[in-house]
Amino acid sequence: MYLVTGATGSLGRRIVRQLREDQESVRAFVRLSAHFGELEDRGAEIFIGDLKIEQDIIKACEGVKYIISSHGGTDAQAIDYRANINLIDRAIANNIEHFVFISVLGVDRGYQDSATFKAKREVEKYLIKSGLNYTILRPSGFANNLIPLAERFRDTGIYFSIGEQQNRSSIVSTDDLARIAIASTKIEAAKNKIFAVGGPDILKREDIPRIFARLFNQEPIVINPPLQLFDGLRFGVGLINPQLNKSLGTLRTLLAHEFFCTRDEITLLESTFNLKLESLESFLRRYVGQ
């Protein structure tokens, strides 16, 4: 039995779907407010709970062999940090076979402005020391994030992007990442390893509207405010709402830096997991292409 947290999220939903396609038994940790009917229809066992409640985590972990932690949230302390620590503690207590943790690319660069990055790094360290079999996946941005942007482009021709357009990323097909997360529990070479996970191409931000242009056969209108504008607005917001200012730190970190995998990291990923990674263009063509 797999336990998947964040099962109604973009990644978790795909992990549950693929596990069910593989006829694996899976318990989907969901909140009552989320849309989980599709997961139930596919044969997942639905566990209703809140990751902020330790008792829910204890109950959800009963009888599971594998845990894939794919949740995330705005409360980094409670969700990205504490919920994962509690899951790892239960995994140890229940002697589970393998724990897969979805971290983030660049987590080890010490970005102090992002509570999420710091939480994920601390969870990584805790997991490595836990004695459990683990795989840590550090993905770049998910391709599904671009679906709403592509849809807006299709309707308006407009592409909006803050900051340096030469910054590079390795946007990963969320379907590939789901496959890699599941395979991590089965492939010996993935045991007790950390993988940077990205798509096959290193893309500059300015490449994205070009991909949209090809998909929808129309010239892009690019709106590109500088990062300083974001910083100014954030400062203004901070005067009224200091908490919101802090929580914008992760977005600021993502906007200000590059998050791409090296060719060697991509080669290692493809050979370890025996797959050919999908390009962003192919992913978008499948989901929103004409």
3-state secondary structure string, 3-26? Answer: EEECCCCHHHHHHHHHHHHCCCCE
User: Closer to ligand NAP at the Cβ: 12 or 163?
Assistant: 12
Residue 134 as a binder of ligand NAP (CB under 6 A): the answer is: no
In the complex, minimum distance from the CB of residue 259 to ligand NAP, in angstroms, rounded to a whole number = 8
CA atoms within 13 A on the CB side of 70: 30
Nearest C-alpha neighbor of 67 from the set 48, 92, 50, 32: 92
Contacting range for ligand NAP; rule: CB under 6 A; set: 44-52, 126-134, 200-208, 260-268: 44-52
- The two tokens of residue 47 are 């566990």
Residue 18 as a binder of ligand NAP (CB under 6 A): the answer is: no
User: Closer to ligand NAP at the Cβ: 112 or 290?
Assistant: 112
Residue 70 as a binder of ligand NAP (CB under 6 A): the answer is: yes
In the complex, minimum distance from the CB of residue 52 to ligand NAP, in angstroms, rounded to a whole number = 5
User: Closer to ligand NAP at the Cβ: 36 or 273?
Assistant: 36
- Say how far apart CA 225 and CA 116 lie, in whole Å: 25
User: Closer to ligand NAP at the Cβ: 145 or 271?
Assistant: 145
Q: What burial letters (b/e) apply to 83-105, b meaning 16+ CB within 10 Å?
A: bbbbbbbbbeebebebbbbbbbb
Residue 200 as a binder of ligand NAP (CB under 6 A): the answer is: no
β-partners of residue 196 are 138
In the complex, minimum distance from the CB of residue 53 to ligand NAP, in angstroms, rounded to a whole number = 8
- Say how far apart CA 126 and CA 112 lie, in whole Å: 19
- In the list 24, 50, 54, 89, the residue contacting ligand NAP (rule: CB under 6 A) is 50
Residue 139 as a binder of ligand NAP (CB under 6 A): the answer is: yes
In the complex, minimum distance from the CB of residue 103 to ligand NAP, in angstroms, rounded to a whole number = 7
User: Closer to ligand NAP at the Cβ: 85 or 157?
Assistant: 85
- In the list 31, 65, 152, 193, the residue contacting ligand NAP (rule: CB under 6 A) is 31
Beta strand segments in the chain, E: 2-5, 26-30, 45-48, 66-69, 98-102, 134-139, 158-160, 168-169, 193-197, 203-204, 221-223
